Structure 1
């Protein structure tokens, strides 16, 4: 498969009294065409800021990309002006946002919001856009799609709004779909239906998915590869099978050990002590070292580089220092 998205040394900083605060600090990863990739990690790891940087939506929140590149089929989106990005957002790259209760415009009907993007990006007539919008709403599970077109967002539950957001994101057959916790507000039955729908449609259309989630159970079901983030950096990258069967980074081990297992035996869930450090209070060495059960003296003083293996797997940990090739040096 050819590469669709290539993120290299991405650094997105916020500024407080001109003091830089690194929310995303040197992130590297690629997504191939038709691939479903999970971006996982605790809250505060930089997952959502990474996705907003890809969408070119970081400026409005006070952040700035100070270094790195975001290449979509070879085109560096970091260099694009806002007018050029508007043609790409919603058309070539779509996003399902994390907060369905606030993502829809409260003064426009569902139909107006559904058809707007189809008319703008696909040059459809109003009648054609209405017909397409109704089809999309039915695809995501609405039996009364025609009636829903006339409703305002306040009449919908959180789960219903999230399904509308998914329908909007899928409306233009985008090359890349970024889904930021797309099933958070949905019950378990609808979660399964929505994930199956996203996977099925994207398989048919050849669309790639970047799925941001805390749910490792969802990751194991629908994803091909996993990128683990911690404190604004990638700490591990590999296929689903590699990470679940043989995690390399202690943080990945901790995340997997916190998953309940139903096998007839009673297990005590393991917790990772402490919290993700604030971006303006980063430790001097490895950012996970204060919480790591395998930390060495070196970890407390030096920041490990991302090491890449011959099979493409990567890890940022001194425990595997001699085993890979430094991606930081290579770039």
Structure 2
């Protein structure tokens, strides 16, 4: 049996991982366990003499999704309000908000990309599943493993904050980890693992610029929202360029020469066809400015996905858009604006990028030597 414990950072996915390990242990069933976020990497970890493998991951690639589907794996997913995750990671590891939004993008898009046909159990941090012994019983039932009331309470007690702190303290004294993100290879607990566990902690703690960026870029991929019907928004805060740290619209100047004006945000999107529409405000003096925009993917053997040249102010009501086919949900995407070498000078405002899911990709993602059978 393959069991995947998949969750966003700071969503108690390690708690679930260790609860599953304990359920196999009390049933005296040998199960190997590890952490991996790449399908090919995982296959190299499986010992030859084990029939059960428990895999912990914050994101899941296409190889692992296909393996889970073909092997009838059991998938346990944990998620948490992305705004609380950002604050938790900042408190425990001093993570930069923009960097963490990138990591959360990979995790949330992975979860949103899991086929509904998989055998899946979903747990929401805000429901406080890690504070109830009944969660152990639910896990046992999902995994078709017997567990007595006594075993259930014993496992739950071993996963209490006090017990986990004691385990971490013992491990730190014996292993002397170099930093707070180095973990115990068996349990995956690490020195910076336990926070205060509060829900809604982002209120008053998360700067507005990071909150708005997270809500626009991440919320559409966090249940119960559905990216297929929700607009995704990449705030200027997520881009590299002049004065983007403020999060609001930024003024970009062109000097008549070709140059890169703004680029980013290196976030992920689920597989499918997407529309990218930049938010642009034309110069108030009526001068014409020519700029180029393109979408770039870091997928293998890919580069510029689409490019357009446009002149500001725009004659039509809507800013021209780019339409792209995303073929791998874990490859970061980049939107770029350039000035052109035409001698014209001026400035305009960039207010981010709006994205809309259009439907399934026209590229089926099949290997040229494969065929699809109806």
Under TM normalisation by the shorter chain, which class is it? under 0.3
Could you say which structure has the greater relative contact order, defined with CA pairs below 8 angstroms and 6 or more residues apart?
1
Task: Normalising by structure 1, report the TM-score.
Answer: 0.25
Q: Rg: which structure is higher? A: 2
Query: Which has the larger helix fraction?
Result: 1
